[in-house]
Structure 1
Amino acid sequence: MEVAPRPPGPRSLRAPRHGGRRAPRLARSLGLYRRWRAPRGGAAGRWRPVGLHPEGRPPARPAAGHRPENHSEPMETREADGDVEVPPNKATVLRGHESEVFICSWSPVSDLLASGSKDSTARIWNLNGSSNGASNQLVLRHCIREKGQDVPSNRDVTSLDWKSDGTLLATGSYDGFTRIWMEDGNLARTLGQRRGPIFALKWNKKGNYIVSAGVDKTAIIWDAHTGEAKQQFLFHSAPILDVDWQNSTTFASCSTDRNIHVCRLGCDLPVRTFQGHVNEVNAIKWNPSRTLLASCSDDSTLKIWSMKQDTCVHDLQAHSKEVYTIKWSPTGPATSNPNANIMLASASFDSTVRLWDVERGVCFHTLTRHQEPINSVAFSPDGKYLASGSFDKCVHIWNTQSGRLVHSYGGTGSIFEVCWNARGDKVGASMSDGSVCVLDLRK
């Protein structure tokens, strides 16, 4: 299937307008638009490096062929309101990017940390045993072909996602291309150019398809092996902010048009459309059993949807400002922690994180230590801890049962993304000053 070429557009991220208005804020990990929708006078617009942070020693290399299990070594915690600061020798700052780092994600099978930046590169940092993370980075330069030569695209890397077996990394860029990289940093394939920036992309669990979406209001399923566009889905009337697979052929998408569509490969119409939000829908996530879909919006609400009905199962109202992102805990049915209750975390521009009991539709913890809007939340693999990152330059780590703050790290820039490694003993964070930080939480 041929994908129409993208018309040339302005370089500046602050300039483009879509539908007569400034382009929308991205969902979850799409940090570049945060500059456009950040509160006036807030952290955005004041970003500046404030010097290097002391570097600690990365963890030892795992045995060859070892796949990290879904548990961690005992975590050092301080269940009190006293000293929760992560000591300098437990924080490794990785430098190499030349501009803001919007996104980061650990390999699902090893201590390789991928990051994506405004500097038109993604990087893979090897934290498997080196004492110097900077000397073990692979630079994935995003280039375009001009006059028979590869030249830097000079466009932001907006999204990235690891294949489930950790062998390939997909990246999406403001230049409209989806690229697939091998874990050694070599470019495996470039997928056809979109008609605008890519805001979200995801591998399906089987690893044969990638869905990408963005400004052009279209979601496309790509065959990762052949590079063929299998099907285009043109049902939204405005930019798509997030996508998430329900199974290997069915995915959901959300948009600034306030709608959520569930689409299936081979079907000419959405198999379900969810309507109810009254403002832009920023993020969507299927629960681990893939029976419920959570969404969050600029209307300050979260909603829970079921494929069995058109109306929402729960309308969760507690935040006072836009809800920026959501995450399900890796607990309950269809997880490796089946005996633990499932939770939903929401992060808002009201500077709070809330933990929800979705079965009852109630908030059971409100986490209030951040001072500015929160960009990212992530559960540890066992669901016992939650990391959060904010414009206030802090990464906080919370006990999900007690709601207590157990670790806190003050970074050198606003925090765009936080993520846990597969072992659950390290947290990665990407920052506005061009750095990536790794917190070692082992005793």
Structure 2
Amino acid sequence: MAYCLNPDCQKPTSNPQGTKFCQNCGSKLLLSDRYRAIKLIGEGGFGRTFLAVDEYKPSKPRCVIKQFFYQGAGAEIAVELFEQEAVRLDDLGKHPQIPELFAHFEVDKRQYLVQEFIDGQNLAQALETEGAFSETQIRDLLNNLLPVLDFIHSHNIIHRDIKPENIIRRSPQGGSPPGGTKTDELVLVDFGAAKFVSAAAFPRTGTKIGTAEYSAPEQMMGRAEFGSDLYSLGVTCIHLLTQMHPFDLFSISEDAWVWRDYLHSPLQDRNLGKVLDKMLERATSRRYRSAQEILEELNPQPTAIKNWSNSIPLGNLYGNVNTPSPIPNQQLPIANSRSPITYIQSSTLVKNWRCDRTLIGHSNWVWSVAFSPDSKTLASGSRDKTIKLWDLQTGKQIRTLWGHSNWVWSVAFSPDGKTLVSGSGDKTLKVWQIPSGKIIRTLEGHSGPIYAIAFSPDGRTIASGSGDKTLKIWDCGSSEAIHTLTRHLFWVRCIAISPDGQTLASGGLDNNIHLWQINSGRWSRTFAGHSNWVRFIAFSPDGQFLASASYDKTIKVWDLYSGKEIYTLSEHTDLVGCVAISPDGQILASSSRDKTIKLWQLSTGREISNITERSDAVSYITFSPDGQTLAAANFDGTINIWRCD
């Protein structure tokens, strides 16, 4: 059946499948010559929502058409909200827990928005059919949705309408895995009320938007903040826990939330109750400041590694994995100290770096850069969906590589320099021929954005880390995924392969670093200690140490053999986004959103240089293979090339 989109049509459902024009009113049924509405799934004062199919694609995938045709009082604001949803979705790009925007256009003086169809039921429907949520379900909900809120807040967007109806529990694909149940993935929808904010915008009062029973007090006064979304999520949680309307859970006489009085049984998880109470604080000064702050209190991490006796030491990683080797503790530096790494030989360190040139060409943030093995060419991947190749002797662009349909998060040269691999928000890896720039092959298999990639030293395998919470190891010859590694609770944000090609390290939004055997795909151990996302990791050239950068504003250096933390660097004043170790193993470089690059002596953790001549934050840094150049990618779309004197 084809559904007529004309609001005035009296018989919109009287059209057989394949019909091009409505048999009742004569209106064209194929929207933009591509999208066919098949079912009305929602209707309100501003317009209607339809289930549709994309006739342009051979598989005819399902999608959602949102139609706006409101002409009454306040139409100007309504139009702005509708257009705002398209802008916000476009700004956010692809995220596995946010519906993807496919198109936005106007036809016959009616506006349309086409986006990804999310198959599942919203939490209001789930509450009605299944009853009150358990404490475990609420904890899982928070762990599932808070990283999404952190993501949209990092893009300076406030959702402003968090409620059960706008959270969809995606139907699991392929059933449940053997021996367990598939984890529900929650999708945040309806960005029609979303608002872009800046530091200058916060003091000003804006439009009151949202659903009253879930809205924070400051939002009802037109002054929504990031914390307003956290408040609304807290109200959503207590509504799901009690199955009571939010207005019934607040006592006006006591001026306090009394949600515990309506629980079906006493709350067992005291920490969860404490977290919810703080999310529901009416005073913004007493409420959580960020989604990450909630995640930290909801999932407290151990402050120190207490017992590694059950882990597999790296020295025994490729022997009998069931029999750990003894760890010679007497040979280890003291964890959390600034004691020197005595088994690294020190030499004269280069302390003076100058900006040799700035590469300008990208139209948006540059997420990653990579040197060719001969240090003559630089590749850069950007939010503008392109990859650029640069001649480092002249500073000129060699060519621009087009092929990805979303942001390019990561790029890496093969060890022989003949190919380049890229990872993108379009969920694919692409392998490019160098220097022609032709696409050799596309690797598909991830269901989320690909944030990190790495070549093995022998060039035979590629590793990738994704927003689908998995890592994949690919065979370069067959282009097949050899192993899919699952242990991370949230996105895999960074990966690195050891110099001997035997160990894969991964870090992500669960604050942990995992080590894996590349040949078998088996997990070997976990490094825990960061209190926020692990954003980047790097092996030392001798393979003995691992450096990690985190959004907790610190850098940690780990002994790979023992699993012990050697020292922590905490001199940055904002999120630390990247670390790099020089080819000679002497210098550790770090970059931060505090707009500085710091250089440290790896053997001691002593700061030896601080590059502050910058106008924007640094997203990525890397040393050239010859160690004479440091490339820094910036959020302003430029790349600085630093050379040592």
Q: When the two structures are superposed, what TM-score results if normalisation uses the length of structure 2?
A: 0.45
Q: 2:558 aligns with which of 349, 356, 363?
A: 356
Unaligned runs of 5+ in 1: 24-32, 48-70, 78-89, 95-126, 128-132, 143-153, 333-341
In 1, distance between residues paired with 2:350 and 2:391?
A: 35
* Structure whose residues are more often helix by fraction: 2
Which structure 2 residues correspond to residues 328-367 of structure 1 after superposition, within 5 A? 328-332=539-543, 342-367=544-569
Q: How far off is 1:37 after superposition? A: 3.2
The one of 461, 464, 481 aligned to 1:250: 461
Q: Deviations over 1:388-438 (max 9, x none)?
A: 222233333322222333333445443433444566567555555788777
| Native 8 Å contact 1:420 1:427 kept in 2 | yes
What letter is aligned with 2:419? Y
Q: Which amino acid aligns with 2:369?
A: L
Aligned length: 327
Deviation at 1:185, TM superposition (A): 5.0
> Separation in 2 of the partners of 1:433 and 1:356?
32
Give the match's secondary structure for 1:375.
Answer: strand
Q: In the alignment, residue 373 of structure 2 is paired with which amino acid? A: S
1:314 aligned to which of 504, 525, 532: 525
- The structure-2 alpha-carbon separation of the partners of 1:161 and 1:306, relative to structure 1 and needing over 3 Å to count, comes to same
Aligned to 1:379: 581
Question: Judging changes above 3 Å, is the alpha-carbon distance between structure 1 residues 166 and 419 closer, same or farther for their aligned structure 2 residues?
Answer: closer
Instruction: Find 1:221's aligned residue among 424, 431, 442.
Output: 431
2:416 counterpart of 1:299: no
| Cα deviation 1:84-117 (Å, max 9, x = unaligned) | xxxxxx564x5xxxxxxxxxxxxxxxxxxxxxxx
Superposition deviation, residue 179 in structure 1:
3.9
The corresponding residue for 2:617 is 414
When residues 10 and 234 of structure 1 are mapped into structure 2, their CA distance, relative to the original with a 3 A threshold, is farther
1:202 & 1:357 partners in 2: Cα distance? 26
Check if 1:237 corresponds to 2:447.
Answer: yes
C-alpha separation in 2, matches of 1:178 and 1:438: 17
**Closer/same/farther in 2, CA of residues 287 and 264 from structure 1, 3 Å limit:** same
- Partner of 2:410 in structure 1? 200
Cα distance 1:216–1:423, how it changes in 2: closer, same or farther (>3 A)? closer
State whether residues 386 and 400 of structure 1, in contact with CA within 8 Å, keep that contact through their aligned partners in structure 2: yes
User: 2:588 is aligned with what amino acid?
Assistant: L
> What pairs up with 1:1-80 in 2 under 5 angstroms?
14-21=91-98, 37=154, 74-75=348-349
Q: Secondary structure at the match of 1:232?
A: strand
In structure 2, the CA distance between the partners of 1:305 and 1:375, relative to structure 1 (3 Å rule), is same
Change in Cα spacing, 1:138 to 1:15, as seen in structure 2 (3 Å) is closer
- In the alignment, what sits opposite 1:60? none
What does residue 108 of structure 1 align with?
A: none
| 2:499 equivalent to 1:288 | yes
What's the offset of the Cα at 1:303?
A: 0.6
Q: Distance in 2 between matches of 1:387 and 1:298?
A: 22
- SS of aligned partner of 1:305: strand
Counterpart position of 2:387: 178
Q: What displacement does 1:243 show?
A: 0.8
- Secondary structure of the structure 2 residue equivalent to 1:257: coil
Aligned residue in 2 for 1:270? 481
Conserved 8 A contact 1:72-1:425: no
Does 389-398 or 311-320 show the bigger shift? 389-398
| AA matched with 1:324 | R
* 8 A Cα contact 1:160 1:169, kept in partner: yes
Question: Does the 8 A contact of 2:96 with 2:467 survive in 1?
Answer: no
User: In the alignment, is the contact (CA less than 8 A) between 1:73 and 1:425 conserved in 2?
Assistant: no
Counterpart CA distance in 2 for 1:34 and 1:398 is: 30
1:10-53 CA-to-partner distances (Å, cap 9, x unmatched) read 69974435334399xxxxxxxxx999638999xx9669xxxxxx
SS at match of 2:370: strand
In structure 2, what is the Cα distance between the partners aligned to 1:410 and 1:180? 26
* CA contact 2:514–2:525 (8 Å) conserved in 1: yes
Amino acid at match of 1:254: G
Q: 1:168 to 1:395 in 2, by over 3 A?
A: closer
Q: Which amino acid aligns with 2:374?
A: D
Once residues 158 and 37 of structure 1 are traced to their aligned partners in structure 2, the CA distance between those partners, rounded to angstroms, is 15
Distance in 1, Cα, partners of 2:89 & 2:599: 35
Contact 1:231 1:265 in 2 (8 A): no
Cα gap change, 1:161/1:312 in structure 2, threshold over 3 Å: closer, same or farther?
A: same
Question: What is the match of residue 210 of structure 1?
Answer: 420
1:408 aligned partner, one-letter code: N
Map of 1:54 onto structure 2: none
Partner-residue secondary structure (3-state), 1:238: coil
Partner amino acid, structure 2, of 1:400: L
Query: Structure 1 residues 256 and 388, CA, compared in 2 at 3 Å: closer, same or farther?
Result: same
Shift of 1:210: 1.5
Contact 1:75 1:425 in 2 (8 A): no
Are the counterparts in 1 of residues 349 and 587 from structure 2 also a CA contact under 8 Å? Answer: no
Match of 2:481, SS?
coil
Cα shift at 1:204: 0.4
Aligned partners of 1:393 and 1:312: how far apart in 2? 36
Aligned-residue identity in percent? 26
- Measured in 2, the distance between the counterparts of 1:425 and 1:358 equals 27
- What is aligned with 1:150? none
Structure 1 residue 291, shift from structure 2 partner? 0.8
Contact 1:331–1:382 (8 Å) recurs in 2: no
Cα distance in structure 2, aligned partners of 1:186 and 1:287: 32
Alpha-carbon separation, structure 1, partners of 2:555 and 2:385? 33
The correspondence of residues 114-193 of structure 1 with structure 2, limited to 5 A, is 127=356, 139=360, 141=361, 154-183=363-392, 184=394, 187-193=397-403
More strand by share: 1
Question: What CA deviation, in whole Å up to 9, does each residue of 1:31-81 have, x standing for no partner?
Answer: xx999638999xx9669xxxxxxxxxxxxxxxxxxxxxxx9983377xxxx
Structure scoring higher RCO (CA < 8 A, sep ≥ 6) equals 1
Deviation at residue 373 of structure 1 after TM alignment = 1.4
Structure showing greater radius of gyration is 2
Letter in 2 for 1:37: S
Query: Residues 273, 175 of structure 1: CA spacing in aligned structure 2 closer, same or farther, 3 A cutoff?
Result: same
**Residues 513 and 527 in structure 2, CA contact (< 8 A), matched pair in contact too:** yes
CA contact (8 A) 1:276 1:311 kept: no
Instruction: State whether residues 303 and 315 of structure 1, in contact with CA within 8 Å, keep that contact through their aligned partners in structure 2.
Output: yes
Q: What TM-score comes out, normalization by structure 1 length? A: 0.63
The amino acid that maps onto 1:382 is D
CA contact (8 A) 1:91 1:437 kept: no
Counterpart for residue 338 of structure 1:
none
